[in-house]
Amino acid sequence: MSQMIKKGLLFCSLCLKMTSAYSQEGLVSLMKYTENNYPEILAKQAELNMARSSLDMKKDNFLPDVDVSYDVNYATANNVTGMNNSSTSIGISGPPVQDPSYDGSIGSSAGIYMKWSPYTFGKRNAMVKGANNLVEMKEYELLDKQIQIQGSVAFYYLELIRAEKQLDVMRNNVERNEFLLKKSIRLYDEGLVSEVDRFKFQGELAKAKREAMEISKIVDSNYTRLVSFLGSKVDSIEPEKFFVKSLPNSRNIKSDIINSPSIIASDKSILYHSQQVKIAKKSWTPDIELWSMFGSRGSGFMYDGTVDPSHGFQLSYTNYGVGLQLSLSLSDFLKKKNRISYESFALEQELQEKELLLNNLQLRDRVARSKYRKSIVIAKGFPIEYEAYLKAYNTTLLQYENGLSDYTELIASQYDLLNVEMQKNSVYINAWQALLELSLVQGDLSIFTIEF
């Protein structure tokens, strides 16, 4: 069993473990759900099943072809044919006559015909190897598709958490502006602030409500995207709060891009096209066939010239034969050069596409590692930033109440606090999404799921 298949099984086992630890709508169970329900994955599974069936058919080519036939006809006495050829039997009326006779009677025949090609100059072996490479390629394409779809589920799950936490922040901001509006009215009544402050706080409250509605639209959008991967069976999704309270612990993640499913699938595709080149080079070779025939016939014409139709149904005359046939297709010989060129170009295309894929994955790996490291550093230092802006806002609010600061300073401090509150949970989500991207590049989601 290859390393990547083992990784796939490991991830499946992790999914089963984590499902018991979370609710039915937990992230890992949602990721697992797509394996047997998402159309793109089911389509890839169907492609794999087709490739396996094709491989079975290629293997069956080693077995001989056996045809059984039975024929009843009405023919003239001139007909002396009675051999079985492939699946076609020609009944005879016979026996031969000295002078042409167009009198007709019943004739019949039945037989078994076998054809076998024991040696194909390597063509059959190349076809089986190519079909086997195709099966392996489809297996890794299926695994890669599962990883990519499950990664998308995880990404939008985290985005849903981000949007919901930001919506909580905006709702709190609405309440804060309601509080400030009431305070400005009280301070106005006491003659400590101008009526302009009250109007401005009314505007800020309306603005906060509008921004909260905009964030709620983002929540709905992320929820819809997430459900699009899961189907209508999942009626409700309750995101885990774990992802905004904890950071991943992984630090030195080994780079194993060469063993990612997409790279291995590309390798198998290259092997498949290599076999197609071999088949094209052997297309001019002759076909060697062993054949054998065993059959019986009946004729309504008797040797004394009389006619007995009932005798035409009696398989009273037996034939058998064996032979060796060597055939060479001149058209295949003439087309050989073009076919080899076509398959060689297809192979070259696969080689270049693999190089492009590898370069792309290496670039994504470097970007993801850098993003992950920086996200961890930012998230760890963020509490200090948050506490500083919170203290600054509370101090400014106290000064405003005592007439030591004006509206402009208070609103500026409030916006600074709002901005940092919006980022408070996002810095955690960014770290988790960076780790998710790194696991997708490696083609191993257990790098991500092992953290929770």
Mean pLDDT taken over the chain: 84
Backbone angles phi, psi at 67, to 5 degrees: -120, 135
Give dist(CA 230, CA 153) in Å, integer.
Answer: 8
Residue 18's pLDDT band, with cuts at 50, 70 and 90, is: very low
pLDDT in tens, 368-380: 999 999 999 999 9
| Tens digit of each residue's pLDDT (9 = 90 or more) over 258-306 | 899 999 999 999 999 999 998 888 877 888 888 888 878 777 777 777 7
Closest C-alpha among 276, 296, 403, 402 to residue 339? 276
SS3 for 40?
A: helix
Q: How far apart are CA 56 and CA 419, in angstroms?
A: 62
DSSP label of 97: -
As a dihedral over the C-alpha atoms of residue 151, residue 155, residue 160, residue 162, rounded to 10 degrees, the angle is 150
Neighbours of 32 (CB within 10 A): 21
Mutual angle of helices 330-401 and 407-424, in 10-degree steps: 140
CB 260 within 8 A of CB 443: yes
Reported as half-sphere exposure (CB side, CA atoms, 13 A), residue 75 has a value of 23
Asked whether the beta carbons of 44 and 138 are under 8 A apart, the reply is yes
Please, are residues 243 and 167 in contact by the beta-carbon 8 Å criterion?
no
pLDDT tens by residue, 130-150: 999 999 999 999 999 999 999
* Mean pLDDT score, 407-436: 94
State how beta strands 287-299 and 317-327 pair. Answer: antiparallel
For the chain, domains (ranges, CATH) are 3-60+123-278+362-449 (1.20.1600.10), 65-116+287-327 (2.20.200)
C-alpha to C-alpha distance for 127 and 55, rounded to whole angstroms: 9
Q: Cα separation of 442 and 451, whole Å?
A: 16
Residue 93: the pLDDT is 52
Map tokens 């670039």 to a residue: 363
Burial per residue of 378-407, b for 16 or more beta-carbon CB atoms within 10 angstroms, e otherwise: bbeebeeeeeebeeebeebbeebeeeebeb
Using CA atoms, how far apart are residues 140 and 366, in angstroms rounded to an integer?
A: 24
